Structure 1
Amino acid sequence: MVPPPVDPALRDCDPPVGGKLSRERMLACALEIIDREGIEKMSMRRLARALGHDPMSLYRYAANKAALLDGVAETVLDELTVDPTDPDWPAQLRAVARQYRRLALTHPNVVPLLVTRPLATPLALRPRGTLRPLEATLALLTRAGFTTADALHIYRALFGLLNGHVLNELQELVDNPDETDDLLRLGLHRLPITEFPLLRSLATTLASYDGAAELERGLDILLNGLTATLTPTTTPTPTP
């Protein structure tokens, strides 16, 4: 079948090398479109136009749009590395957290796929690529001497913090950027002072929000709390 003509305004992905399509190229193009236009603009037909291929050819690599979106999530999470042999588990978790934040800021439109989509899928049915950070983190923590149950608690606490942080950091904080007064910039002046005196008093703090610093503070609280309440039950496995 001859591929349909491609509208130059729609083809914003490089055509596959030699005209041949692959799963990797398809997912890379889907990620490019989502980065620019958002998940709601993604469709199999839209992606086919961008690649210069017939829509039916995409179904060889993704059974439907849901499978395509799962593949995009896997593509992004493939960039998240966890070193299970690191003897300093708090430092490794901190490094993972920083990576995760960078990925979220690089691909903000993909964050809903990373944060909310897995909740609708039983753990064992999720794409394997989305489970690898979990498996590697469990390996890191059990090598450090934690029980598998405690390792899972630590993972959940860490990614609960991370997901909440990136959702908060990516939301629009400024109501009117042309205003010089922080209360007006954030629109907090609309809140009755008798009902929200403390929130209004935080205008300057909210306006000076630093995502990186906020994450570090959250990690300090989390990791310090974990080390104070959870202790390894076995001798850490030595790194080969």
Structure 2
Amino acid sequence: MAGERPEARSGDPRTAGPARRAADRGRYGRLSRARVLASALELVDREGLSALSMRRLGAELGVEAMALYRYAEGKDALLDGLVEALYLELEERLAGQAEASSWRAELQRVARATYEVCLAHPQAVPLLTTRMLAVPLARRPLAVLRNHERVLTLLTGAGFDDAAVVGLFRAFNSWLIGYVSEELRPMVDNPDEEEPAFRLGLHRMPAHELPVLRGVAAALAERGGTEGLATGLDALLDRLAATG
């Protein structure tokens, strides 16, 4: 009949209400930021950073990728969330231990706990450098800033002036992340090879150009562990504290 409104049809864009939000109840129940970041870290631990995407993480959690944008605005925010997860794990480790009696011993405790977290999640460690280069100080995750505050408070409480505090803070972070990065660098060329020289791929390195490197390659392949970390940090602090 003339003037009669057409019957509304299911799915008709002219009659559809507000778009329904993507469901956020997955195979682990209702999502939370903590659950999303934990699953992202588990995925990276298993398959590396290249495997991480919103779509892949959504599949891991049993939800649409769009549901994740409530907890991370995009890939960069997700990567920053992984950094946050590492520092939250560091806080948990430190909270479960007794504080040291001196500022130097406490720095050693922080360094050792950081090393342990990094070895537990080696695939995520590059983010501790790349995201810190990409994200301004004030926009870093709060857990990262709390760690900065912890170290700066130790150094300030030890009686150093501002210039010395900044120098020691930078040196501490540089040594710690640098040491961990060296420990985690791949060294083995062929893990199935039993002969050490071939296992390390020394036959690929020209002997006449790289005699020293070839000579110490086996030693470089061995991890220094927490003992090497502590020894190097002590030497660094001795030098800087004397000049501070």
- State TM-score, norm by structure 1: 0.80
- The aligned counterpart of 1:15 is 27
User: Structure 2: how far apart are the matches of 1:178 and 1:58?
Assistant: 40
- 5+ residue gaps, structure 2, are 1-19
After TM superposition, the structure 1 = structure 2 runs for residues 87-236 of structure 1, keeping only pairs within 5 Å, are 87-177=101-191, 179=193, 181-230=195-244
After TM superposition, the structure 1 = structure 2 runs for residues 46-57 of structure 1, keeping only pairs within 5 Å, are 46-57=56-67
Contact 2:179/2:229, CA 8 A, preserved across alignment: yes
- State TM-score, norm by structure 2: 0.79
User: Structure 1: how far apart are the matches of 2:238 and 2:122?
Assistant: 29
Point out which structure has higher relative CO (alpha carbons under 8 A, 6+ apart).
Answer: 1
- String of CA shifts for 1:24-80, please: whole Å, max 9, x gaps: 111111111111111111111211121122222211111112111111210111122
| Greater Cα offset, 200-209 or 104-113 | 200-209
- String of CA shifts for 1:212-233, please: whole Å, max 9, x gaps: 3332332232122123222xxx
Amino acid in the other structure paired with 2:241: T
For the residue of structure 2 that corresponds to 1:202, the secondary structure is helix
Between the two proteins, what is the percent identity of the paired residues? 49
Aligned-pair RMSD on alpha carbons? 2.5
- The aligned counterpart of 2:5 is none
For the residue of structure 2 that corresponds to 1:225, the secondary structure is helix
Amino acid in the other structure paired with 1:131: L
User: Structure 2: how far apart are the matches of 1:213 and 1:133?
Assistant: 22
Contact 1:189/1:200, CA 8 A, preserved across alignment: no
User: Structure 1: how far apart are the matches of 2:27 and 2:239?
Assistant: 50
- The aligned counterpart of 2:90 is 80
User: Structure 1: how far apart are the matches of 2:173 and 2:21?
Assistant: 46
- The aligned counterpart of 2:39 is 29
User: Structure 2: how far apart are the matches of 1:162 and 1:22?
Assistant: 32
- String of CA shifts for 1:172-199, please: whole Å, max 9, x gaps: 2122345555444322343333322222
- String of CA shifts for 1:132-171, please: whole Å, max 9, x gaps: 1111111111111112332222121111111111111112
Deviation at 1:127, TM superposition (A): 2.2
- 5+ residue gaps, structure 1, are 5-13, 231-240
Deviation at 1:22, TM superposition (A): 1.0
User: Structure 2: how far apart are the matches of 1:87 and 1:152?
Assistant: 22
- The aligned counterpart of 1:70 is 80
- Alignment coverage as a number of residue pairs: 219
User: Structure 2: how far apart are the matches of 1:170 and 1:113?
Assistant: 13
User: Structure 1: how far apart are the matches of 2:21 and 2:72?
Assistant: 21
Query: Would you identify which runs of 4 or more consecutive aligned residues in structure 1 move more than 6 Å?
Result: none
- The aligned counterpart of 1:41 is 51
Amino acid in the other structure paired with 1:111: V
Contact 1:15/1:51, CA 8 A, preserved across alignment: yes
Amino acid in the other structure paired with 1:55: A
Amino acid in the other structure paired with 1:57: A
Contact 1:178/1:185, CA 8 A, preserved across alignment: yes
